[in-house]
Amino acid sequence: MLPGLRQSLDTVGAVIGPMLAMGLMLWLLDVRAALWFAAIPGALAVLVLIVYVREPSSAPSKRKRH
């Protein structure tokens, strides 16, 4: 990925994320509920890691140990 694109997406996320959080807190009138909504992407990320990411099987090394 291009460095400029990565930095641009990081900046956009840094602006939009807090704006969405503030909007959610104003809409729900409850900070605790807004924080529960914020936990959903993290839980989904952990679920994807558990279900789809597998450790590679370690093949025996061909190097001789001295």
Per-residue model confidence as pLDDT tens digits over 17-36: 899 989 999 998 988 988 89
What are the domain boundaries of the chain? 7-51
Q: In percent, how much of the chain has pLDDT > 90?
A: 45
pLDDT of residue 58: 78
* Cα–Cα distance, 40 to 46 (Å, whole number): 10
Cα torsion through 35, 40, 42, 46, rounded to 10: 150
Coil, helix or strand at residue 25:
helix
pLDDT at 62: 67
**Cα–Cα distance between 41 and 64 in angstroms, integer?**
46
CB 34 within 8 A of CB 25: yes
